[in-house]
Amino acid sequence: MNQVLLQGFHWYSEGNATLYTELEHKADFLSELGISSIWLPPVYKAAGGGYSVGYDPYDLYDLGEFDQKGGVPTKYGTKQQLLSACKTLQAHGISIVADIVLNHKAGGDEKETFHAVRVDPENRQRNLSEPYEIESYTKFTFPGRGKTYSEFQWDFTCFSGVDYAEGEPSGIFQIINQHGAGWEQVIGEEKGNYDYLMYNDIDHRSPFVREELGRWGTWLHDQIFFDGVRLDAVKHQSPEFYVEWLDTLRKTTGKPIFAVGEYWAPGHLPLLLEYIEATKGRMSLFDACLQHQFHLASKQGEHYALNQILKKSLVAVRPELSVTVVANHDTQPLQQLEAPVEPWFKPLAYALILLREGGYPCIFYPDLFGSNYSDKGSDGNEYEVDLPIVKGLETLIKARKIHAYGGQRDYFDKPNCIGWTREGDMGFEGCAVVLNNSGDDQISMEVGGHYKGQVFYDLLGNSTQEVQINDSGWGDFPGPERSVSLYVPKDRSL
Protein backbone atom coordinates (compact mmCIF):
# COMPACT_ATOMS: atom_id res chain seq x y z
CA MET A 1 0.00 0.00 0.00
CA ASN A 2 1.27 3.48 -0.85
CA GLN A 3 2.36 5.51 2.17
CA VAL A 4 1.33 9.10 2.97
CA LEU A 5 2.68 11.27 5.80
CA LEU A 6 0.61 14.07 7.32
CA GLN A 7 2.29 16.96 9.10
CA GLY A 8 -0.27 17.14 11.89
CA PHE A 9 0.26 20.79 12.85
CA HIS A 10 1.48 24.14 11.56
CA TRP A 11 3.13 27.20 13.07
CA TYR A 12 -0.18 28.75 14.05
CA SER A 13 -1.98 25.62 15.26
CA GLU A 14 -4.55 26.31 17.96
CA GLY A 15 -3.13 26.45 21.47
CA ASN A 16 -5.05 25.81 24.68
CA ALA A 17 -3.80 22.20 24.83
CA THR A 18 -6.29 20.95 22.23
CA LEU A 19 -4.24 19.57 19.32
CA TYR A 20 -3.70 16.04 20.65
CA THR A 21 -7.42 15.63 21.32
CA GLU A 22 -8.26 17.03 17.90
CA LEU A 23 -5.94 14.57 16.15
CA GLU A 24 -7.37 11.71 18.18
CA HIS A 25 -10.89 12.63 17.07
CA LYS A 26 -9.73 12.70 13.43
CA ALA A 27 -8.18 9.20 13.54
CA ASP A 28 -11.10 7.52 11.74
CA PHE A 29 -11.17 10.09 8.96
CA LEU A 30 -7.40 10.09 8.45
CA SER A 31 -7.20 6.30 8.31
CA GLU A 32 -10.04 6.04 5.81
CA LEU A 33 -8.50 8.80 3.69
CA GLY A 34 -5.21 6.94 3.34
CA ILE A 35 -2.90 8.66 5.83
CA SER A 36 -0.38 6.08 7.02
CA SER A 37 1.79 8.23 9.33
CA ILE A 38 1.41 11.46 11.25
CA TRP A 39 4.24 13.83 12.11
CA LEU A 40 3.57 15.29 15.54
CA PRO A 41 4.97 18.65 16.69
CA PRO A 42 7.71 18.65 19.34
CA VAL A 43 6.06 16.93 22.31
CA TYR A 44 8.36 18.18 25.08
CA LYS A 45 8.28 21.31 27.22
CA ALA A 46 9.72 24.37 25.49
CA ALA A 47 11.07 27.60 26.92
CA GLY A 48 7.85 29.33 25.86
CA GLY A 49 5.75 26.84 27.78
CA GLY A 50 2.15 26.55 26.66
CA TYR A 51 2.60 29.26 24.04
CA SER A 52 5.54 27.70 22.18
CA VAL A 53 5.39 25.83 18.88
CA GLY A 54 8.16 23.71 20.41
CA TYR A 55 11.38 24.55 18.58
CA ASP A 56 12.87 26.21 21.66
CA PRO A 57 13.25 22.93 23.62
CA TYR A 58 13.74 23.22 27.35
CA ASP A 59 13.16 19.83 29.01
CA LEU A 60 13.08 16.80 26.71
CA TYR A 61 11.71 14.60 29.51
CA ASP A 62 8.69 16.81 30.25
CA LEU A 63 5.95 15.73 27.84
CA GLY A 64 3.37 17.92 29.52
CA GLU A 65 3.68 16.25 32.92
CA PHE A 66 5.45 18.75 35.17
CA ASP A 67 4.70 22.32 36.24
CA GLN A 68 7.47 24.16 34.41
CA LYS A 69 7.68 27.27 32.23
CA GLY A 70 4.29 28.54 33.34
CA GLY A 71 2.23 25.37 33.49
CA VAL A 72 1.90 21.62 33.05
CA PRO A 73 0.68 21.13 29.46
CA THR A 74 2.60 22.03 26.36
CA LYS A 75 0.82 24.11 23.72
CA TYR A 76 -0.66 20.86 22.41
CA GLY A 77 -1.79 19.13 25.59
CA THR A 78 -0.77 17.06 28.57
CA LYS A 79 1.26 13.87 28.57
CA GLN A 80 -1.90 11.84 29.12
CA GLN A 81 -3.58 13.48 26.13
CA LEU A 82 -0.46 12.78 24.05
CA LEU A 83 -0.37 9.10 25.03
CA SER A 84 -4.09 8.72 24.38
CA ALA A 85 -3.84 10.31 20.94
CA CYS A 86 -0.88 8.12 19.97
CA LYS A 87 -2.66 4.94 21.05
CA THR A 88 -5.81 5.85 19.14
CA LEU A 89 -3.96 6.81 15.96
CA GLN A 90 -1.87 3.63 16.11
CA ALA A 91 -5.01 1.55 16.64
CA HIS A 92 -6.26 2.98 13.36
CA GLY A 93 -3.09 1.91 11.55
CA ILE A 94 -1.47 5.35 11.62
CA SER A 95 2.14 5.34 12.81
CA ILE A 96 3.73 8.17 14.78
CA VAL A 97 6.64 10.29 13.52
CA ALA A 98 8.22 12.23 16.41
CA ASP A 99 9.77 15.67 15.90
CA ILE A 100 13.31 15.58 17.31
CA VAL A 101 15.08 18.87 18.12
CA LEU A 102 18.61 18.13 19.32
CA ASN A 103 20.49 21.11 17.89
CA HIS A 104 19.91 23.46 20.82
CA LYS A 105 18.31 24.03 24.22
CA ALA A 106 16.56 27.16 25.47
CA GLY A 107 15.26 28.65 28.69
CA GLY A 108 18.16 27.82 31.02
CA ASP A 109 17.34 28.09 34.74
CA GLU A 110 20.56 29.59 36.07
CA LYS A 111 23.46 31.69 34.83
CA GLU A 112 27.03 30.44 34.63
CA THR A 113 30.33 32.20 34.02
CA PHE A 114 32.74 30.87 31.39
CA HIS A 115 35.15 31.96 28.67
CA ALA A 116 33.93 32.67 25.16
CA VAL A 117 34.83 34.46 21.93
CA ARG A 118 32.50 36.82 20.11
CA VAL A 119 32.29 35.83 16.42
CA ASP A 120 31.03 37.49 13.25
CA PRO A 121 27.39 36.39 12.70
CA GLU A 122 27.97 36.39 8.93
CA ASN A 123 31.23 34.44 9.17
CA ARG A 124 31.39 32.36 12.33
CA GLN A 125 34.99 31.43 11.53
CA ARG A 126 36.02 35.07 12.11
CA ASN A 127 36.61 36.06 15.72
CA LEU A 128 35.68 39.58 16.79
CA SER A 129 37.39 39.36 20.20
CA GLU A 130 39.92 37.53 22.27
CA PRO A 131 38.58 34.99 24.80
CA TYR A 132 36.94 36.68 27.79
CA GLU A 133 34.50 35.86 30.55
CA ILE A 134 30.76 36.07 29.90
CA GLU A 135 27.71 35.09 31.91
CA SER A 136 24.76 33.28 30.31
CA TYR A 137 21.80 31.01 31.14
CA THR A 138 23.43 27.67 30.43
CA LYS A 139 22.55 25.70 33.56
CA PHE A 140 19.38 23.60 33.46
CA THR A 141 18.05 22.34 36.79
CA PHE A 142 14.44 21.58 35.75
CA PRO A 143 12.90 22.61 39.07
CA GLY A 144 9.51 21.07 38.22
CA ARG A 145 10.87 17.66 37.22
CA GLY A 146 14.07 17.46 39.25
CA LYS A 147 15.84 14.18 38.53
CA THR A 148 12.80 12.15 37.48
CA TYR A 149 13.65 10.04 34.40
CA SER A 150 17.19 11.47 34.15
CA GLU A 151 19.86 12.88 36.47
CA PHE A 152 21.91 14.37 33.66
CA GLN A 153 23.24 17.88 34.39
CA TRP A 154 23.15 20.32 31.48
CA ASP A 155 25.67 23.15 31.92
CA PHE A 156 27.98 25.28 29.78
CA THR A 157 30.29 22.32 29.10
CA CYS A 158 27.47 20.78 27.05
CA PHE A 159 27.26 23.70 24.62
CA SER A 160 29.44 25.18 21.90
CA GLY A 161 27.85 28.61 21.66
CA VAL A 162 25.19 31.01 22.96
CA ASP A 163 23.46 34.15 21.67
CA TYR A 164 23.15 35.89 25.04
CA ALA A 165 25.75 37.31 27.41
CA GLU A 166 24.72 39.28 30.49
CA GLY A 167 25.36 42.99 30.01
CA GLU A 168 26.61 42.55 26.45
CA PRO A 169 25.10 43.57 23.09
CA SER A 170 23.42 40.65 21.34
CA GLY A 171 25.63 38.45 19.20
CA ILE A 172 27.06 34.96 18.83
CA PHE A 173 29.55 33.76 21.44
CA GLN A 174 31.63 30.64 20.89
CA ILE A 175 32.16 28.83 24.18
CA ILE A 176 35.62 27.61 25.15
CA ASN A 177 35.30 24.40 27.17
CA GLN A 178 37.09 21.10 27.65
CA HIS A 179 36.29 20.18 24.05
CA GLY A 180 38.28 23.18 22.87
CA ALA A 181 37.36 26.16 20.74
CA GLY A 182 35.84 25.87 17.29
CA TRP A 183 32.56 24.76 15.85
CA GLU A 184 31.58 21.24 14.88
CA GLN A 185 32.12 20.26 11.25
CA VAL A 186 28.91 20.53 9.23
CA ILE A 187 28.00 20.11 5.57
CA GLY A 188 28.21 23.36 3.60
CA GLU A 189 30.12 26.63 3.94
CA GLU A 190 27.23 29.03 4.56
CA LYS A 191 28.22 31.71 7.10
CA GLY A 192 31.68 30.15 7.24
CA ASN A 193 30.32 27.41 9.47
CA TYR A 194 26.59 27.16 10.21
CA ASP A 195 26.91 24.94 13.29
CA TYR A 196 25.42 27.69 15.42
CA LEU A 197 21.73 28.40 14.80
CA MET A 198 20.12 29.71 17.99
CA TYR A 199 19.88 29.61 21.82
CA ASN A 200 22.36 27.29 23.59
CA ASP A 201 23.98 25.25 20.80
CA ILE A 202 24.45 21.63 21.90
CA ASP A 203 28.03 20.37 21.56
CA HIS A 204 27.67 16.86 20.12
CA ARG A 205 31.41 16.23 20.52
CA SER A 206 30.86 15.59 24.21
CA PRO A 207 30.59 11.82 24.85
CA PHE A 208 28.40 12.53 27.87
CA VAL A 209 25.95 14.57 25.77
CA ARG A 210 25.83 11.90 23.08
CA GLU A 211 25.18 9.20 25.66
CA GLU A 212 22.37 11.21 27.26
CA LEU A 213 20.70 12.04 23.97
CA GLY A 214 20.91 8.41 22.90
CA ARG A 215 19.33 7.29 26.17
CA TRP A 216 16.60 9.91 25.82
CA GLY A 217 15.70 8.77 22.28
CA THR A 218 15.00 5.27 23.56
CA TRP A 219 13.06 6.69 26.53
CA LEU A 220 10.83 8.76 24.24
CA HIS A 221 10.18 5.74 22.04
CA ASP A 222 9.08 3.76 25.06
CA GLN A 223 6.59 6.50 25.96
CA ILE A 224 4.81 6.93 22.59
CA PHE A 225 6.17 4.00 20.51
CA PHE A 226 6.96 6.05 17.43
CA ASP A 227 7.96 4.37 14.17
CA GLY A 228 9.68 7.39 12.66
CA VAL A 229 11.51 10.58 13.52
CA ARG A 230 11.69 13.99 11.86
CA LEU A 231 15.12 15.46 12.65
CA ASP A 232 15.12 19.24 12.99
CA ALA A 233 17.90 21.48 11.66
CA VAL A 234 20.32 18.73 10.56
CA LYS A 235 21.98 21.39 8.41
CA HIS A 236 23.44 22.77 11.66
CA GLN A 237 24.59 19.46 13.17
CA SER A 238 27.44 17.13 12.37
CA PRO A 239 26.31 14.12 10.32
CA GLU A 240 28.50 11.90 12.50
CA PHE A 241 26.24 12.60 15.48
CA TYR A 242 23.11 11.38 13.71
CA VAL A 243 24.88 8.30 12.35
CA GLU A 244 25.57 7.29 15.94
CA TRP A 245 22.19 8.48 17.32
CA LEU A 246 20.13 6.61 14.73
CA ASP A 247 22.20 3.46 15.04
CA THR A 248 21.69 3.52 18.81
CA LEU A 249 17.95 4.16 18.49
CA ARG A 250 17.41 1.36 15.98
CA LYS A 251 19.47 -1.05 18.05
CA THR A 252 17.82 -0.32 21.41
CA THR A 253 14.27 -0.34 20.03
CA GLY A 254 14.83 -3.27 17.70
CA LYS A 255 12.90 -1.41 15.01
CA PRO A 256 13.90 -0.04 11.58
CA ILE A 257 12.96 3.49 12.66
CA PHE A 258 12.22 5.73 9.67
CA ALA A 259 14.09 9.05 9.73
CA VAL A 260 13.78 12.22 7.68
CA GLY A 261 16.09 15.17 8.16
CA GLU A 262 15.39 18.84 7.62
CA TYR A 263 18.31 20.13 5.57
CA TRP A 264 16.65 23.20 4.09
CA ALA A 265 18.73 24.35 1.12
CA PRO A 266 16.40 25.29 -1.76
CA GLY A 267 18.21 25.17 -5.07
CA HIS A 268 21.26 23.43 -3.62
CA LEU A 269 20.76 19.77 -4.44
CA PRO A 270 24.51 18.92 -4.15
CA LEU A 271 24.38 19.82 -0.44
CA LEU A 272 21.46 17.45 0.15
CA LEU A 273 23.29 14.68 -1.66
CA GLU A 274 26.46 15.39 0.32
CA TYR A 275 24.53 15.07 3.59
CA ILE A 276 22.98 11.80 2.45
CA GLU A 277 26.45 10.52 1.60
CA ALA A 278 27.85 11.67 4.94
CA THR A 279 25.09 9.85 6.85
CA LYS A 280 25.50 6.79 4.60
CA GLY A 281 21.83 6.73 3.61
CA ARG A 282 20.60 6.37 7.18
CA MET A 283 17.98 9.09 6.71
CA SER A 284 15.76 10.60 4.07
CA LEU A 285 15.65 14.35 3.52
CA PHE A 286 12.81 16.74 2.75
CA ASP A 287 12.98 17.72 -0.90
CA ALA A 288 13.55 21.46 -0.36
CA CYS A 289 14.61 21.78 -3.99
CA LEU A 290 11.27 20.54 -5.33
CA GLN A 291 9.29 22.70 -2.90
CA HIS A 292 11.19 25.72 -4.16
CA GLN A 293 10.18 24.86 -7.73
CA PHE A 294 6.54 24.62 -6.67
CA HIS A 295 6.82 28.11 -5.20
CA LEU A 296 8.37 29.51 -8.38
CA ALA A 297 5.93 27.73 -10.68
CA SER A 298 2.95 29.10 -8.78
CA LYS A 299 4.29 32.65 -9.00
CA GLN A 300 5.39 32.57 -12.66
CA GLY A 301 2.30 30.88 -14.11
CA GLU A 302 2.52 30.09 -17.83
CA HIS A 303 6.02 31.56 -17.97
CA TYR A 304 7.30 28.60 -15.94
CA ALA A 305 8.35 25.51 -17.93
CA LEU A 306 6.45 22.69 -16.25
CA ASN A 307 8.47 20.05 -18.07
CA GLN A 308 11.53 21.20 -16.10
CA ILE A 309 9.92 21.10 -12.66
CA LEU A 310 11.56 17.86 -11.53
CA LYS A 311 15.01 18.84 -12.76
CA LYS A 312 17.53 19.19 -9.94
CA SER A 313 15.08 17.83 -7.34
CA LEU A 314 16.04 15.21 -4.78
CA VAL A 315 13.19 12.92 -5.84
CA ALA A 316 14.61 12.84 -9.37
CA VAL A 317 17.98 11.43 -8.27
CA ARG A 318 17.33 9.74 -4.89
CA PRO A 319 13.61 8.95 -4.90
CA GLU A 320 13.98 6.34 -2.16
CA LEU A 321 15.35 8.97 0.24
CA SER A 322 13.14 11.91 -0.72
CA VAL A 323 10.22 13.16 1.38
CA THR A 324 8.29 15.47 -0.92
CA VAL A 325 6.39 18.50 0.40
CA VAL A 326 4.27 21.30 -1.02
CA ALA A 327 4.37 23.37 2.17
CA ASN A 328 5.35 23.12 5.83
CA HIS A 329 5.38 25.22 8.99
CA ASP A 330 8.55 27.07 7.93
CA THR A 331 7.47 27.90 4.38
CA GLN A 332 3.93 29.03 5.25
CA PRO A 333 3.16 32.76 4.93
CA LEU A 334 4.69 35.09 7.57
CA GLN A 335 7.39 32.62 8.56
CA GLN A 336 11.13 33.25 8.18
CA LEU A 337 11.58 30.80 5.30
CA GLU A 338 8.22 31.55 3.72
CA ALA A 339 7.92 30.22 0.19
CA PRO A 340 4.17 29.84 -0.27
CA VAL A 341 2.67 27.98 -3.19
CA GLU A 342 -0.27 29.89 -4.68
CA PRO A 343 -3.68 28.18 -4.21
CA TRP A 344 -4.26 27.61 -7.94
CA PHE A 345 -1.05 25.57 -8.24
CA LYS A 346 -1.32 23.48 -5.07
CA PRO A 347 -3.52 20.77 -6.66
CA LEU A 348 -0.92 20.41 -9.44
CA ALA A 349 1.90 20.18 -6.91
CA TYR A 350 0.08 17.58 -4.81
CA ALA A 351 -0.63 15.51 -7.93
CA LEU A 352 3.11 15.50 -8.63
CA ILE A 353 4.02 14.15 -5.20
CA LEU A 354 1.04 11.84 -4.65
CA LEU A 355 0.51 10.11 -7.99
CA ARG A 356 4.04 9.44 -9.24
CA GLU A 357 6.59 6.76 -8.51
CA GLY A 358 9.30 7.70 -6.03
CA GLY A 359 9.27 9.92 -2.99
CA TYR A 360 7.34 9.77 0.27
CA PRO A 361 4.66 12.50 0.09
CA CYS A 362 3.97 14.69 3.11
CA ILE A 363 0.65 16.59 3.36
CA PHE A 364 0.56 19.93 5.20
CA TYR A 365 -2.22 20.16 7.80
CA PRO A 366 -3.76 23.49 6.63
CA ASP A 367 -3.93 22.21 3.05
CA LEU A 368 -6.22 19.42 4.24
CA PHE A 369 -8.21 21.28 6.88
CA GLY A 370 -7.66 24.99 6.17
CA SER A 371 -6.42 27.70 8.54
CA ASN A 372 -6.81 31.38 9.29
CA TYR A 373 -4.32 33.34 11.38
CA SER A 374 -2.59 36.68 11.74
CA ASP A 375 0.96 37.73 12.55
CA LYS A 376 3.50 40.43 11.82
CA GLY A 377 5.38 40.28 8.55
CA SER A 378 9.05 41.06 7.98
CA ASP A 379 8.08 44.72 7.55
CA GLY A 380 6.57 44.86 11.05
CA ASN A 381 3.00 45.24 9.82
CA GLU A 382 0.18 42.93 10.92
CA TYR A 383 -1.30 40.63 8.28
CA GLU A 384 -4.15 38.15 8.23
CA VAL A 385 -3.62 34.93 6.28
CA ASP A 386 -6.29 32.57 5.00
CA LEU A 387 -5.05 29.15 3.92
CA PRO A 388 -8.02 27.46 2.21
CA ILE A 389 -8.47 23.72 1.89
CA VAL A 390 -6.76 22.62 -1.32
CA LYS A 391 -9.34 21.79 -3.96
CA GLY A 392 -9.40 18.07 -4.69
CA LEU A 393 -6.74 17.14 -2.13
CA GLU A 394 -8.86 14.47 -0.44
CA THR A 395 -9.52 12.91 -3.85
CA LEU A 396 -5.82 12.95 -4.71
CA ILE A 397 -4.91 11.23 -1.42
CA LYS A 398 -7.57 8.57 -1.92
CA ALA A 399 -6.44 8.13 -5.52
CA ARG A 400 -2.91 7.44 -4.31
CA LYS A 401 -4.30 4.61 -2.22
CA ILE A 402 -6.21 3.09 -5.15
CA HIS A 403 -4.81 4.24 -8.50
CA ALA A 404 -1.12 5.22 -8.18
CA TYR A 405 0.47 1.83 -8.92
CA GLY A 406 2.41 0.09 -11.64
CA GLY A 407 4.78 1.22 -14.36
CA GLN A 408 5.00 4.92 -15.15
CA ARG A 409 5.26 6.62 -18.54
CA ASP A 410 6.17 10.31 -18.66
CA TYR A 411 5.04 12.81 -21.27
CA PHE A 412 7.04 15.94 -20.54
CA ASP A 413 7.52 17.20 -24.10
CA LYS A 414 5.46 20.39 -23.81
CA PRO A 415 6.60 23.28 -21.60
CA ASN A 416 3.12 24.09 -20.25
CA CYS A 417 1.22 20.82 -20.39
CA ILE A 418 2.74 17.62 -19.00
CA GLY A 419 1.41 14.22 -18.05
CA TRP A 420 2.13 10.68 -17.03
CA THR A 421 0.33 7.37 -16.78
CA ARG A 422 0.42 4.50 -14.29
CA GLU A 423 -0.41 1.01 -15.59
CA GLY A 424 -1.82 -0.41 -12.36
CA ASP A 425 -0.51 -3.41 -10.47
CA MET A 426 -1.38 -6.04 -7.86
CA GLY A 427 -5.12 -5.68 -8.38
CA PHE A 428 -4.99 -1.88 -8.31
CA GLU A 429 -6.12 0.22 -11.26
CA GLY A 430 -3.82 2.75 -12.88
CA CYS A 431 -4.47 6.33 -13.95
CA ALA A 432 -3.52 9.12 -16.34
CA VAL A 433 -2.60 12.58 -15.05
CA VAL A 434 -2.40 15.87 -16.96
CA LEU A 435 -1.02 19.14 -15.52
CA ASN A 436 -1.47 22.44 -17.31
CA ASN A 437 -0.30 25.93 -16.28
CA SER A 438 -1.52 27.72 -19.42
CA GLY A 439 -4.45 27.54 -21.88
CA ASP A 440 -6.49 24.43 -22.74
CA ASP A 441 -4.42 21.63 -24.26
CA GLN A 442 -4.28 17.84 -24.47
CA ILE A 443 -1.71 15.04 -24.47
CA SER A 444 -1.77 11.69 -26.23
CA MET A 445 -0.60 9.09 -23.70
CA GLU A 446 -0.39 5.31 -23.40
CA VAL A 447 -2.08 3.67 -20.41
CA GLY A 448 -1.54 0.09 -21.58
CA GLY A 449 -3.19 -2.43 -23.88
CA HIS A 450 -5.14 -3.99 -21.03
CA TYR A 451 -7.30 -0.84 -20.99
CA LYS A 452 -8.26 -0.98 -24.68
CA GLY A 453 -11.87 -0.08 -25.29
CA GLN A 454 -12.33 1.37 -21.81
CA VAL A 455 -13.50 4.90 -21.10
CA PHE A 456 -11.56 7.13 -18.72
CA TYR A 457 -12.98 10.20 -16.96
CA ASP A 458 -11.54 12.99 -14.82
CA LEU A 459 -12.04 12.03 -11.19
CA LEU A 460 -11.38 15.64 -10.15
CA GLY A 461 -14.07 16.99 -12.45
CA ASN A 462 -11.85 19.65 -14.04
CA SER A 463 -12.47 18.14 -17.47
CA THR A 464 -15.92 16.98 -18.58
CA GLN A 465 -14.59 15.10 -21.61
CA GLU A 466 -14.37 11.32 -21.52
CA VAL A 467 -11.42 9.53 -23.13
CA GLN A 468 -11.79 6.35 -25.19
CA ILE A 469 -8.72 4.09 -25.06
CA ASN A 470 -7.85 2.69 -28.49
CA ASP A 471 -6.76 -0.84 -29.35
CA SER A 472 -3.11 0.10 -28.78
CA GLY A 473 -3.79 1.34 -25.26
CA TRP A 474 -3.53 5.05 -26.10
CA GLY A 475 -5.90 7.96 -25.47
CA ASP A 476 -6.04 11.72 -26.02
CA PHE A 477 -6.30 13.28 -22.56
CA PRO A 478 -7.50 16.90 -22.25
CA GLY A 479 -5.60 19.31 -20.03
CA PRO A 480 -7.94 22.16 -19.05
CA GLU A 481 -6.47 25.61 -18.41
CA ARG A 482 -4.43 26.03 -15.18
CA SER A 483 -5.55 22.80 -13.59
CA VAL A 484 -4.84 19.11 -13.02
CA SER A 485 -6.96 16.26 -14.36
CA LEU A 486 -6.85 12.72 -12.97
CA TYR A 487 -8.27 10.18 -15.41
CA VAL A 488 -9.34 6.72 -14.24
CA PRO A 489 -11.52 3.98 -15.78
CA LYS A 490 -15.16 5.08 -15.78
CA ASP A 491 -16.41 1.95 -14.03
CA ARG A 492 -14.08 2.58 -11.11
CA SER A 493 -14.61 4.98 -8.18
CA LEU A 494 -13.01 5.83 -4.85
Q: pLDDT tens digits, the chain, 494 residues: what are they?
A: 899 999 999 999 988 899 999 999 999 999 999 999 999 999 999 999 999 999 999 999 999 999 999 999 999 999 999 999 999 999 999 999 999 999 999 999 999 999 999 999 999 999 999 999 999 999 999 999 999 999 999 999 999 999 999 999 999 999 997 665 689 999 999 999 999 999 999 999 999 999 999 999 999 999 999 999 999 999 999 999 999 999 999 999 999 999 999 999 999 999 999 999 999 999 999 999 999 999 999 999 999 999 999 999 999 999 999 999 999 999 999 998 999 999 999 999 999 999 999 999 999 999 999 999 999 988 889 999 999 999 999 999 999 999 999 999 999 999 999 999 999 997 888 999 999 999 999 999 999 999 999 999 999 999 999 999 999 999 999 999 999 999 999 876 66
In angstroms, the Cα distances linking 247 to 236, 259, 449, 452 are: 20, 11, 47, 50
CATH of 105-202, one of 2.40.30.140, 1.10.10.60, 2.30.180.10, 3.30.360.10: 2.40.30.140
- Is 262 among the residues known to form the active site? yes
Q: Say which CATH class 5-103+207-399 falls into.
A: alpha beta
- Is 476 among the residues known to form the active site? no
- CB-CB neighbours of 185 under 10 Å: 12
Selecting among 232, 423, 429, 458, the annotated active-site residue is 232
* Annotated domain spans of the chain: 5-103+207-399, 105-202, 406-489
- CB-CB neighbours of 2 under 10 Å: 18
For 261, phi then psi, to 5°, come to -100, 150
The domain made up of 406-489 is a member of CATH 3.40.50.11860 = no
Selecting among 262, 287, 330, 458, the annotated active-site residue is 262
Residue type, 30: L
Q: Do the domains spanning 5-103+207-399 and 406-489 agree at the CATH topology level?
A: no
DSSP-based three-state secondary structure for 66: coil
Task: Report the predicted TM-score, pTM, of the whole model to 2 decimal places.
Answer: 0.96
**What is the DSSP code (8-state) at residue 12?**
T
